[in-house]
């Protein structure tokens, strides 16, 4: 559906960087009052994230080092939509297995969200994975650690700043709403 509320009109676009994962564009736009403005936009192929719910109700998280954050983060499994022809569900299935060694018999697509629409078009499709079975070891060097947490543990970890990854916080909020 076209956006009929658009208030900026693209005048020019300059691609200033093309990397392995993303590209950066500098757009010149016309504002509603006729003035011009510059917008820097990071283009991203999109991603998936998975809320792995173990049979006992605990949520499986992985811990991995994130260079941009400068530290290791507890996160739900996730990955880029960067394999040609792979659907978001197929990507989610692959990422869950690679990062945790689990497979799920029940998959539910929950919703799609922008990660930070002020400067990037990255969107993440969030899935819930249920009826998990351990089928393999995680891919070596993919993840530093994994652990399972109750919903209450996760809320406490968020409050203490031990979980500060946005997609994971959003997933925990969804879990909390679903359980109440």
User: Inter-axis angle of helices 151-159 and 166-179, to 10 degrees?
Assistant: 140
**Separation CA 164–CA 55 (nearest Å):** 25
**Which helix H or strand E contains 176, and what residues bound it?**
helix 166-179
- Whole-number pLDDT of residue 138: 85
Contact 91, 129 (CB under 8 A): no
3-state secondary structure of 116: coil
Query: What's the half-sphere exposure (Cβ side, CA atoms, 13 Å) at 63?
Result: 10
E strand map for 9-101: 9-18, 23-30, 36-43, 47-52, 59-66, 71-75, 78-80
Q: pTM of the predicted model, to two decimals?
A: 0.92
pLDDT of residue 90: 98
CA distance 153 to 148: 10
pLDDT digits (tens, 9 = 90+) for 129-156: 999 999 998 887 778 799 999 999 999 9
Which CATH number applies to 47-179: 3.90.79.10, 3.20.20.70, 3.90.1010.10, 3.40.50.300?
3.90.79.10
Give every residue of the chain whose pLDDT is below 50, as ranges: none
Domain ranges of the chain: 9-43, 47-179
The reported pLDDT for the residue numbered 5 is 65
The pLDDT of residue 2: 59
- Output the CA torsion sign for 163, 81, 115, 175: negative
């Amino acid at each position: 559906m076209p956006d009929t509320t658009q208030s900026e009109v693209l005048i020019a676009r300059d691609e200033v960087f093309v990397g392995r994962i993303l590209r950066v564009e500098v757009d010149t736009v016309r504002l509603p009052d006729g003035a011009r403005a510059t917008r820097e936009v990071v283009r991203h192929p999109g991603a998936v994230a998975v809320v792995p719910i173990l049979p006992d109700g605990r949520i499986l998280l992985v811990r991995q080092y994130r260079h941009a954050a400068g530290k290791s983060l507890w996160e739900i499994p996730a990955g880029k939509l960067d394999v040609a022809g792979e659907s978001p569900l197929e990507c989610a299935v692959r990422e869950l297995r690679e990062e945790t060694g689990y497979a799920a018999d029940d998959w539910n697509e929950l919703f799609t969200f922008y990660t930070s629409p002020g400067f990037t078009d990255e969107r993440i499709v969030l899935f819930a994975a249920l009826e998990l079975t351990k089928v393999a070891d995680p891919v070596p060097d993919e993840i530093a650690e994994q652990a399972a947490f109750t919903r209450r543990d996760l809320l406490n970890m968020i409050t203490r700043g031990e979980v500060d990854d946005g997609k994971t916080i959003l997933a925990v909020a969804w879990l909390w709403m679903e359980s109440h």
